[in-house]
Amino acid sequence: MTSALIYIVVMALVAAVVFLLAALVFGRGEELEPLPPGASPTRLPADDVTPDDVRDLKFQQVLRGYKMTEVDWALDRLATEVEQLRARVAELEAELDAERQRDLGPEIGPEIGPEIGSEIGPDLDGKPERELDWEPEHDRA
């Protein structure tokens, strides 16, 4: 029984040594080499973030998922970009509305032409003369 126990312990030690050597030589099975401590794979351009930039975004993995500070930074950066784009869209829509107003010209309304009973000048006796734009129905005929 003792020889079987020694045989199992020796096999476990040999397997552990072979595993550690293989891990040191071949790495941990990652596609990329590990990043140096403190480095981050999270990169976004300073301006004009494109959809491909967002798709290519990578975060450093830690024991329980992704590094929270990198994810927070990326979300803040993307929120700023969306905010800037929405402000630019609003600015362009306002310019388009102003251009449409200029193309249409002034609206026809009470601002155009003299109002009923507006003053057009003094009469001979110095009193302002009033012009009527309509006639009562009983005076027509």
Q: pLDDT per residue over 86-109, tens digit each?
A: 999 999 999 999 999 988 876 555
* Dihedral angle computed from the Cα positions of residues 76, 78, 82 and 88, in that order, rounded to the nearest 10 degrees: 100
Domain for residue 89, yes or no? yes
Structural domain total, the chain: 1
Domain for residue 49, yes or no? yes
pTM of the complete model beyond 0.75? no
* Dihedral angle computed from the Cα positions of residues 107, 113, 116 and 122, in that order, rounded to the nearest 10 degrees: 150
Residues 93, 47, 59, 55, CA torsion sign: positive
Domain for residue 113, yes or no? no
Domain for residue 96, yes or no? yes
Which tens digit of pLDDT belongs to each residue from 24-78?
887 666 565 666 666 666 777 777 777 888 888 777 777 778 888 888 888 888 8
Domain for residue 25, yes or no? no
Cα angle for residues 81, 83, 68 (degrees, 5° grid): 60
Question: Residue 44 is part of which domain span?
Answer: 38-105
Burial 79-107, CB ≥16 within 10 A → b, else e: eebeeeeeeeeeeeeeeeeeeeeeeeeee
Residues 6+ apart with CB under 8 A from 117: 130, 131, 132
